[in-house]
């Protein structure tokens, strides 16, 4: 039994398709089928039910999947430990980030690649729930997002900074005449908000819950840059993290006069996986970036 075969098995089990798995693994379907057949012969058990139109796990396959994932995770951890012992930094660093945190990450990515050019960075943008799932499964070395309102197994969160929700409008918007805005002040404007499930939207919904406000949500989008680009060309108002416009011109943030607008920016780690030196180095650089210093002011 080889680690390669376990990797192939897990990918087929995840996708429930030999053709999709072979494309994802960059091997031919015949090679994949042959390796899975060798694994089944060694175990003397069928791991998959196969028909012309469907692939599914057998009971043996479902039982074998958990152990296969654990074995691959342990192999990855041991490889990371050995690579950390070698001179210099090598390997891959998998980072998860929410869309609101892209502007915070840019400076540290450039600084890290300059200092550690041999480390391959893989940056994954997802919403908070998806990131926490990937961290819990050990698919990411760490993730950067606001603290989740849900609890996830095997996820440890460390507060990196405190942040606030802010009103964001274009620089000539009527609301820019105010130093701060009450939530009731938004009743006279059309809102463009992040889609339900995104962290800023969840925080905003918690703020306005049980309040008798007549808010008009004209648009929703699940991508922050789309919202910001629309704001630059309209009189819409949005509510997002104060950090999102660090790299955008033509937009202004206005503080919300409400104690519940505070949010915690966190680093999230998998408690069951080895923490690489490259992870620690990236976090060190991140903590010293200009973007984060501005956030902490």
Any idea what the CATH number is for the domain that residue 40 is in? 1.10.10.10
12 touches 58 (CB < 8 A): no
CATH number, domain of 131, equals 3.40.190.10
Q: Nearest-CA neighbor of 132 among 240, 266, 278?
A: 266
Whether 175 and 122 share a structural domain: no
Q: Are residues 269 and 237 in the same domain?
A: no
Same domain as 154, residue 117: yes
Which of the two residues, 85 and 178, has the higher pLDDT score? Answer: 178
The closest of 90, 72, 71 to 81, measured between CA atoms, is 90
Mean pLDDT across the stretch 246-270?
Answer: 86
User: Are residues 258 and 291 located together in one domain of the fold?
Assistant: no
Same domain assignment for residues 157 and 273: yes
Side-chain-facing half-sphere of 275: CA atoms under 13 Å: 14
pTM over 0.85: no
Number of domains in the chain: 3
Residue 268 is predicted with a pLDDT of 95
Better-predicted residue by pLDDT, 250 or 296: 250
When pLDDT is averaged across residues 40-62 and rounded to a whole number, the result is 89
Task: Clarify whether residues 259 and 189 are in a common domain.
Answer: yes
Interacting residues of 249 by C-beta distance below 8 A, sequence separation 6+ = none
182 and 67 together in one domain: no
**At 125, phi and psi to the nearest 5?**
-95, 125
Task: Please report whether residue 117 resides in a domain.
Answer: yes
In a domain, 76, yes or no: no
Structure confidence at residue 291 as a pLDDT band (50, 70, 90): low
Higher pLDDT, residue 188 or 102: 188
Same-domain check for residues 186 and 204: yes
Residues 102 and 229 reside in one and the same domain: no
pLDDT of residue 297: 42
State the residue range of the domain holding 15.
Answer: 3-71
Position of tokens 């994949």? 32
> Given pLDDT bands bounded at 50, 70 and 90, which one contains residue 252?
very high
CATH number of the CATH domain containing 167: 3.40.190.290
| Highest averaged pLDDT of the listed ranges 13-27, 139-153, 256-270 | 13-27
**Average model confidence (pLDDT) for the chain?**
87
């Amino acid at each position: 039994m080889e680690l390669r075969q376990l990797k192939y098995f897990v990918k087929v089990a995840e996708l429930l398709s030999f053709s999709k798995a072979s494309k994802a693994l960059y091997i031919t379907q015949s090679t994949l089928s042959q390796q899975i057949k060798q694994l089944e012969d060694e175990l003397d058990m069928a791991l998959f039910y196969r028909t012309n139109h469907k692939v599914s796990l057998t009971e043996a396959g479902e039982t074998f999947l958990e152990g296969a994932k654990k074995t691959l995770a342990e192999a990855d951890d041991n490889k990371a430990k050995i690579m950390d012992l070698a001179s210099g930094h090598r390997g891959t660093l998998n980072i998860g980030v929410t869309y609101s945190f892209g502007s915070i990450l840019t400076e540290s990515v450039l600084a890290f690649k300059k200092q550690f050019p041999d480390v391959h960075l893989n940056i994954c943008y997802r919403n908070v729930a998806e990131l926490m799932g990937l961290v819990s499964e050990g698919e990411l070395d760490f993730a950067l997002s606001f603290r989740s309102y849900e609890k996830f197994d095997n996820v440890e969160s460390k507060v990196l900074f405190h942040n606030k929700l802010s009103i964001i409008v274009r620089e000539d918007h009527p609301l820019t005449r105010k130093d701060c805005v009450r939530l009731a002040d938004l009743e006279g404007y059309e809102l463009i908000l992040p889609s339900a499930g995104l962290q800023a939207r969840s925080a905003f919904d918690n703020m306005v819950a049980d309040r008798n406000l007549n808010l008009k949500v004209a648009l929703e989008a699940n991508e922050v840059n789309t919202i910001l680009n629309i704001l630059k060309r309209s009189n819409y108002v949005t509510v997002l993290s104060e950090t999102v416009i660090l790299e955008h011109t033509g937009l202004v943030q206005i503080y919300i006069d409400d104690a519940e607008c505070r949010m915690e920016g966190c680093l999230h780690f998998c408690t069951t996986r080895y923490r690489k030196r490259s992870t620690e180095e990236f976090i060190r650089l991140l903590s010293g970036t200009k973007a984060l210093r501005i956030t902490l002011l």
